[in-house]
Structure 1
């Protein structure tokens, strides 16, 4: 990241903001990109909670679902010496900001809220920089879901798959019955989402950690990774010819409308089903991607806290961190977002069957050592390496590249600086 390398032009364009944006007493300014309907509702709830505690809320919303625009705005603000109280940042990027020396220590809020006892250890570590809490998690998304239209399966004479042999058997039957077997959007991040679930299903959690998190060269080029690409090549044959550039929610709509049987996608897809008035377990099924029943790939949104000046501003920041991790906010945010609470002890009463399965599987996989970070969603490795690996997967999905050539390219991409 190295903020000092950003151009003086960016600095010149933002100095005007510096004087105006210094946090006032008992005020928090939060930079985020939660701008869709359910997300905006959740932010409004957090604002209400903060105002009830006597803390004013200054919203700094930057549109753009993947957050690139928000990160550009954040870098400019930090350079200008006027960092917001908190920003929506996740995964290894938290460590990158920590290395810049611009984050706040929020151990006091974590101690008061007993975060260490409430969070899975792997999640707690991601929220810390050099052993100190600097970020508060708001949710956990499970990425390794397969969304299924049971009516399409029934009409095709297929059954819900639990492994890849059953998956391809179901895909064959769905295709023969005249439906699209696998709804997919041909965008690099969607290709990467399918790839990581396939790698986990083919090789298991230990292989996933060695190959995709630790980037072990032998694992990246070995027979298990070749088998992963062979499986991916077969999956390609069940995707319709119009998938190029299709947005993920349009692929989900194909499953909702009975045009397609199955889709690999994270639990944000559930929001599309529920918005269409569909009931989990009846109109659609959420099952673990083939072979991944005992594992859980996670994507976590978190508010990372930036160093602020003044006792009032620091106190307001700790209040914000505590509110984010409160059971009340974790419940309302995740009911709106389709994800599940990051912390333990939140009432399960209002959550649907997919969310309850996700909660149980997070708990079990955390204890079993199979709770693993999603590479496709910025949780596992630094952005340069993730981007290079994603490019290899996209090339494989859109060409006649062999599995052998793909693993060699993958190994090379893993060395990207």
Structure 2
């Protein structure tokens, strides 16, 4: 089997030739493999130099504020392209079976980038910091219905977004890896856009605003998902962090009221077009798994340890959904040692691989804090011990 067949077989709940290895993302800021890592600090140093920044602002003043905005937007979109494509190239370098292209959140035509390259505002109005290690959300921007009307909602078929998608397809034209597409999430995207505190006030004090946001994002996910499926995508990933380490971020009854019906509509739409749906959420998700499965998701990722246990997941839900996980990326993959990584991979395979319907992955992603050598140990162990008889 090739990588595509391996992943699709597991998503069907069947047994491939060996356990597929899937990663939501391999952080493109690893020094060893990313040109982007080398580009960004230089840009930041240049733009944060008082003379250079003053010169840029002078030129912008001569040409008008719109010149500076257009320049920053163009640079931001270019950085977004580089970041996304580097994710794919890094995954191809390691030869894993499946990964995800995240084309919904960084820079699109209504995004903004600071002239010092230290923060950005994405297309959802979310504010994020930029460092040599990562892009990190820290504040919502669309905090009132009035601000939503003023800002507008992202265009799922934004030309920049589609250009990234088609560029990635060209890089992966030989299908060396199953490239899934993440059009965002429903819950996470919206609470980040509004801000956590405001969101949880609104869900009680202004539920019509929350429903409006959820419906706009549902439409966004469906329209973008349909486009990429029509152009060859076979797996859609819903990235929707919904839980803390001690349980769901809000009452399961609110998930039943606001989210599960919309998830079901999304899944039904994609299934009718022949695609699979993989759902991602960190945290203790015990109280949400049944709702996701009833909504129609085909796989759940990553069953974050220690709250979630693969053996329990396989026993309770393994006949209903593909299990994806869960080598600890917070401790084991960061610090090792080698034998601990190998043992954890072996335990994951023992707990969840029997009979198929399982993909090996980290407990979230291969983030910048994980040494390359530790990730390679995980891969080698997965390939060695994940062969089916």
Does the TM-score normalized on the shorter chain lie above 0.5?
Answer: no
Higher RCO, 1 vs 2 (CA within 8 Å, ≥6 residues apart): 1
Normalising by structure 1, report the TM-score.
0.27
Normalising by structure 2, report the TM-score.
0.28
